[in-house]
Structure 1
Amino acid sequence: MRRRLSYEGLALAVPVTVPYQRYSTHGAHWFIGRAMHALLAQSGLSRQQIDGLTVSSFTLGSDTAVGVAQHLGLSPRWLDHIPTGGASGVMALRRAARAVQAGDAEIVACVAGDTNQPDTFAHTLNHFADFARDASFPYGAGGPNAVFSLITTHYMRRYGATREDFGRIAVAQRNNAMHNPNALLRQPLDMQQYLEARPIAEAIHLFDCVMPCAGAEAFLVMRAEQARDLGLPHVLLRGAIERHNAYADDPVMERGGWRMDRDDLYAQADVQAGDIDLIQTYDDYPVIVMMQFEDLGFCEKGEGPDFVRRHGLDFAGSFPNNTSGGQLSCGQAGAAGGFIGVTETIRQLTGQAGSRTVAQARLGMVCGFGMVTYDRCLCTGAAILEKAA
């Protein structure tokens, strides 16, 4: 196995969620600005102490991270713009951690935010990826529902998954969301309602789909000793991986890049899959959640359906997944969807998760998944976070 510098002594702190809105007249800058304001207010830091910044967003238009820095009155000495959607949260924490480790920054603010107006989602799709647009739009299949219809039906035919198996994921997450005041969808959802929901595309029904919305997520990365000196509840970064364009030879996606690097991830953290107390999978559609269970070693490929039948997936169950409710019940605030798992894990491991707290949790895993084109995802990542002593 290749040698990798450890992440020892690096911390994540101050989880921020700017309340989600189904639609908003505010732009992405407003949501990102509100997130930065909350980071400063909750940490007690000044703007001058934030000397690193990562920004993730789909709706900044032609602007970039440096424009955000100017508009927020920041002067960072380290800066990164990470336009990888659902993978951006894990990628942001990895890059920020390495910047702090190298001395390029002391405190990095990792921020993601997007707006949502009636035409925002269509505009994003039209400008998301030329390849995906040109390959699918002529057939009337633009957008992610068609992509994940293809992936879901392929997985069901190959591995025998049923709609009830995917429903177990969605229903458990809705139960979690009912304990999360930030979630947009907090009405009860049972299996019958899930199964009877209107169809969207073959095998995909209403509650399999995320709801686009506006909002922001953010957190800080710094040295653990600095977090202690500042009196900030924090978690420790034990390991992190990312992979791009994995398994390109698969005719239709059924494996993600997590599978290539999971041994490295567990080796970095010096733990095994069975040691993980809770997981935040990227959940734009239930089939991808199931793939993450398999590709990260909690069960073998094709055993995902049986795995969800044997485990309780809500915060009080035997395998807590997406304890905030995830995107399926909180909403998908654009690129902030890649951050919601990070902020939720920080909350869980620092005693800030309220009534949805996973009892005696010490280790949490966060997964990222982003930039889907036609029939597969291009960017994946995962990180393991540990409760600080």
Structure 2
Amino acid sequence: MTQIPADYDGVVLTAPFSTPYQRYSIDTAHYWIAQALRGSLKAAALEKDALDGLSVSSFTLFPDTAVGLTQHLGLSPRWLDNIPMGGASAGVAVRRAARAVQAKDVDVVACVAGDTNQIDSFRQLLSSFSRFAMDASYPYGYGGPNANFALLTDRYMHDFGAKREDFGKICVAQRDNALKNPNAVMKKPLTLEQYLEARAIADPIALFDCVMPCAGAECFLVMHEDEAKRRGLPYAHLRGAIERHNAHRDDPIQLRGGWTVDIDTLWAMAGLSPDQVDLVQTYDDYPVISMMQFEDLGFCAKGEGPDFVRSHDLTIAGSFPHNTSGGQLSAGQAGAAGGYIGMVEAIRQVTGQAKGTQVAGATRALVSGFGMINYDRGLCSSATLLETGARA
């Protein structure tokens, strides 16, 4: 019998900040991370010396890690975390920072993710991404996420009856949302016809199924509610958080993620059910992964993702607001493979700071993450539930 962990009472998230995304950059990841960190500190009216905790996620910070970054930025935290978990990083960072705050090991933690994107950055990243990939894929001329997710998408379509139009509906809705986000990379409308006619990348994946790597960063602060109140900050309560790694390791192909192991724990911890959230931010490097999360997070049963998408409007004003900033597919993938874009957007939504992408009356948000494609599957998953504490 699974024991429900202690709740996260008293822990809040505040001061969300995003840099405008940029397709390519000659600046280092250090620069982008510094910009986001400065933005969050300014939003909270904090000097950097008041920051005693730091959690960092980046794929392009090499040869530095979070430790080296402290010297670059002139920080001296008493609590430090380095989370190289790709799209799951934001949820993992929140979960661990929250426990440190509850334990009084730290007062204020800055959680930040950032990456640069130079002309050859992505190829270099893939060339040494994992030992599995280097030994078992690349020698045979096969590798990279497009090829992996083409196989997964094809199998999902075969087993569950999904059609390209279903994935296209996700992509078109996110582009509509991105047009309301001034920081998004994609600035042109996308129709379903354009999606279906796009050039093939790795059958059945085509151009608009693929995420756009870019340069950028996001940051937010984790602290005790009393601290946020004292500073007069808008904030979100942390109602639940889970992480899981290398789940369902015997599955021949990944048609479910680690969320399925702990999702009942997440909902029980928060005292909520799926029909009580106002918006969802899923990790979306490819639309099939978002559809898989709709199932694994409890919004529909396994295999019902296509019907769920067909019966819902996924835009900001729709019946199921999803990836309201445009997500990675239309806003861009920056910062440890985009693990933070959904979290900062969710904080903005439930605190009334989302501006053009604001969902009317939003008080609860679910954020899920997925990362580290190691040979044939993503190893890391996370999910977080946020609820309005104090609005702007």
Q: Calculate the TM-score normalised by the size of structure 1.
A: 0.99
Match of 1:5 in 2: 6
Give the whole-Å Cα distance in 2 for the aligned partners of 1:248 and 1:257. 10
* 1:186 Cα offset (Å): 2.1
Give the whole-Å Cα distance in 1 for the aligned partners of 2:242 and 2:309. 25
Which structure 2 residues correspond to residues 220-235 of structure 1 after superposition, within 5 A? Answer: 220-235=221-236
Match of 2:216 in 1: 215
Match of 2:121 in 1: 120
Which structure 2 residues correspond to residues 40-59 of structure 1 after superposition, within 5 A? Answer: 40-59=41-60
One-letter amino acid of the structure 2 residue matched with residue 87 of structure 1:
A
Give the whole-Å Cα distance in 2 for the aligned partners of 1:48 and 1:119. 36
Which structure 2 residues correspond to residues 84-123 of structure 1 after superposition, within 5 A? Answer: 84-123=85-124
Give the whole-Å Cα distance in 1 for the aligned partners of 2:68 and 2:297. 37
Which structure 2 residues correspond to residues 4-43 of structure 1 after superposition, within 5 A? Answer: 4-43=5-44
* 1:347 Cα offset (Å): 0.8
SS state of the match for residue 297, structure 1? coil
Match of 2:311 in 1: 310
1:369 touches 1:379 (CA, 8 Å); kept in 2? yes
Match of 2:377 in 1: 376
Match of 1:283 in 2: 284
One-letter amino acid of the structure 1 residue matched with residue 384 of structure 2:
A
One-letter amino acid of the structure 1 residue matched with residue 44 of structure 2:
S
One-letter amino acid of the structure 1 residue matched with residue 373 of structure 2:
V
* 1:313 Cα offset (Å): 0.4
**CA deviation digits over 1:162-199, x for unaligned, max 9?**
00000010000000000000101021001000000000
Moved more, 23-32 or 330-339: 330-339
One-letter amino acid of the structure 1 residue matched with residue 180 of structure 2:
H
Match of 1:139 in 2: 140
Give the whole-Å Cα distance in 2 for the aligned partners of 1:116 and 1:362. 34
1:112 touches 1:336 (CA, 8 Å); kept in 2? no
**CA deviation digits over 1:306-334, x for unaligned, max 9?**
00000000111101100000000011014
2:170 touches 2:314 (CA, 8 Å); kept in 1? yes
**CA deviation digits over 1:261-280, x for unaligned, max 9?**
00000011000111111000
Match of 1:150 in 2: 151
* 1:69 Cα offset (Å): 1.0
Give the whole-Å Cα distance in 2 for the aligned partners of 1:325 and 1:202. 24
2:11 touches 2:237 (CA, 8 Å); kept in 1? yes
Match of 2:256 in 1: 255
One-letter amino acid of the structure 2 residue matched with residue 147 of structure 1:
N
Match of 1:170 in 2: 171
1:217 touches 1:343 (CA, 8 Å); kept in 2? yes
* 1:375 Cα offset (Å): 2.0
Match of 1:350 in 2: 351
* 1:161 Cα offset (Å): 0.4
Structure 2 residue 336 is the aligned partner of structure 1 residue 335: yes
* 1:340 Cα offset (Å): 0.5
SS state of the match for residue 159, structure 2? helix
Match of 2:274 in 1: 273
* 1:9 Cα offset (Å): 1.1
Moved more, 177-186 or 353-362: 353-362
Give the whole-Å Cα distance in 2 for the aligned partners of 1:79 and 1:305. 41
* 1:124 Cα offset (Å): 0.4
One-letter amino acid of the structure 1 residue matched with residue 155 of structure 2:
H
**CA deviation digits over 1:234-278, x for unaligned, max 9?**
100000000000111111100100011000000110001111110
Give the whole-Å Cα distance in 2 for the aligned partners of 1:189 and 1:70. 44
2:57 touches 2:335 (CA, 8 Å); kept in 1? no
1:277 touches 1:364 (CA, 8 Å); kept in 2? yes
Give the whole-Å Cα distance in 2 for the aligned partners of 1:248 and 1:345. 30
**CA deviation digits over 1:27-76, x for unaligned, max 9?**
00000111111122111111111000000000111211111111111110
Match of 2:77 in 1: 76
Moved more, 90-99 or 126-135: 126-135
Moved more, 23-32 or 36-45: 36-45
Give the whole-Å Cα distance in 1 for the aligned partners of 2:163 and 2:337. 30
Give the whole-Å Cα distance in 1 for the aligned partners of 2:7 and 2:27. 41
Match of 1:190 in 2: 191
**CA deviation digits over 1:69-101, x for unaligned, max 9?**
111111100000001111101011111111111
Question: Number of residue pairs matched?
Answer: 389
* 1:336 Cα offset (Å): 5.6
Q: CA RMSD in A?
A: 0.9
Give the whole-Å Cα distance in 2 for the aligned partners of 1:41 and 1:356. 22
2:29 touches 2:61 (CA, 8 Å); kept in 1? yes
